[in-house]
Amino acid sequence: MASIRREIEVDREPGAVWSALRDWSSLHELASGFVVGCERQGDARVVTFASGAVLHEQILGCDEQQRRLAWTITDGPYTHHNGGAEVLPTADGRARFVWTTDLLPDALAEPTASAMEQGLAAIKRTLERAPR
């Protein structure tokens, strides 16, 4: 099983970044330009990406104390997919956004890692442009 971890520092206070992440039905606003649509369906969401891909994600948990959101993709090219994102404080008071994914088949690791990097860049751009 491939395991991918990507992270990026965001020039925002961790609470503000967590507030945006925990609103999991607004992913299209958090990752603007990377995600173009997000429709909530109970405790799941249908995510439409700028690439045209549409994936169904089941939300597994939203941990307020750990500032961590976990989900699984229930369709698409994966036979297994678990994702998680968390917000950690940096020493200087900014936020570190950490995104991890475990997936099968292993052949999808490279394109998934590339997509995660694009998504993190969009998240950073969106959050740092937002009014303080």
> Could you state, in order of their start, the residue ranges of all structural domains in the chain?
2-24+59-129
106 pLDDT higher than 80: yes
131 pLDDT higher than 90: no
41 pLDDT higher than 80: yes
Quick one: average pLDDT of 106-129? 97
Quick one: average pLDDT of 33-37? 97
Task: Supply the pLDDT for residue 93.
Answer: 96
pLDDT band at 113 (very low <50, low <70, confident <90, very high): very high
Residue with tokens 């090219």: 77
Q: Supply the pTM of this predicted model.
A: 0.94
Cα–Cα distance between 87 and 16 in angstroms, integer?
A: 10
Edge-first strand listing for the sheet containing 44-49 = 2-10, 95-104, 80-89, 68-73, 54-63, 44-49, 35-41
Phi, psi of 41 (to 5 degrees): -135, 85
Query: Regarding the domain delimited by 2-24+59-129, which CATH topology (the fold level of the hierarchy) does it fall under?
Result: Alpha-D-Glucose-1,6-Bisphosphate; Chain A, domain 4 (3.30.530)
Quick one: average pLDDT of 80-89? 98
Quick one: average pLDDT of 52-76? 97
Q: What is the CA radius of gyration of the chain?
A: 14
